[in-house]
Amino acid sequence: MNTDFGLRVDTDFFIVSGLGKGRYIDYVTRNLVIKTQNGRASQKWYFHQPSRTIRGRSTNQSIDIHNSGKSNHL
């Protein structure tokens, strides 16, 4: 457990949209999309302690928001 971020290290979790219908964030063809739960690895995320980032289980890559978070592009 990383107490600074409140996340369990290297433990899978899902990111669920607050927009209604309980849709999950999914990584599809280099894009993040909101989809219904399907149980695939593309919807699983984990906290990577060495880099202190959230990474996708299917890609082992973290998400980067361009322009220090001031952009719509991930």
Report whether pLDDT(73) > 90.
no
Q: Could you read off the pLDDT of 19-31 as tens digits, one per residue? A: 878 899 999 888 8
**All residues at 6 or more sequence positions from 19 whose CB lies less than 8 Å from its CB, including other chains:** 34
Token reading at 40: 């695939």
| Nearest CA-CA partner of 54 in 27, 18, 22 | 27
Whole-structure pTM value: 0.81
Ramachandran assignment for 51, one of left (phi > 0), alpha (psi -120 to 50 degrees), beta (any other) = alpha
pLDDT at 5: 87
How far is Cα 57 from Cα 40, in angstroms, rounded to an integer?
Answer: 10
pLDDT at 9: 95
